[in-house]
Amino acid sequence: MNDFEVDPRMDAILSVDTSKGNRLINHRGVALSPTAKAGYLLPVAPDLVTLLEYATGEPARTFPLAQQDITPYENGLRHFNSIMQPTVATAAPVVGVALTARATVPGSSTGASYETPLLDATRFAVEVAKQFTAEQMSFFDEEEHATLLARYGEMTPFQR
């Protein structure tokens, strides 16, 4: 699916996905993942937290990821879900935008989505697009990422 969903010209990706079949996020709404970039799992971007709060009028929610969540889905390791799969096909930063529920709702059993989180995610994506294209926000701290690269090298093997 990444061949259809990820274009090499993309400078950054918001991966919006229903993420209700878990017990890590137990609120109804939208939650953000940490930023993934070329095999690195970076901190949650403060600019994105701010824009999510602007878009929803609520405190931002985030969710944890493990290193294996940004590896290929078919590698046999446990993944939160497929929300972060675009990261295996790009060097651009990827952030998951999870549409969430209070209770566990298996995604494969129902297509139920709730209007308010869909609207919140849409408003958020529009605000990010406006700010990002105007170079008013960032998905990650570039200086910190450069320090990681200098100290530890490339992490692209996690993308394979």
Domain CATH for 80? 3.40.630
Residue 26 lies in a domain: yes
Contact 25, 33 (CB under 8 A): no
Q: Which structure tokens are listed for 128?
A: 């990010």
Structural domain harbouring 52: 2-152
Q: How many domains does the chain have?
A: 1
Contact 137, 47 (CB under 8 A): yes
Residue 159 lies in a domain: no
What's the pLDDT tens digit per position in 79-136? Answer: 888 899 999 999 999 999 999 888 777 766 666 777 899 999 999 999 999 999 999 9
Distance from C-alpha of 29 to C-alpha of 26, rounded to nearest angstrom = 9
Q: Which structure tokens are listed for 119?
A: 């609207």
What's the pLDDT tens digit per position in 44-62? Answer: 999 999 999 999 999 999 9
DSSP 43: P
pTM: 0.92
DSSP 16-34: EEE--S-SS--SSEEEEEE
Residue 94 lies in a domain: yes
Which residue, chain included where needed, has tokens 């609120």?
Answer: 27
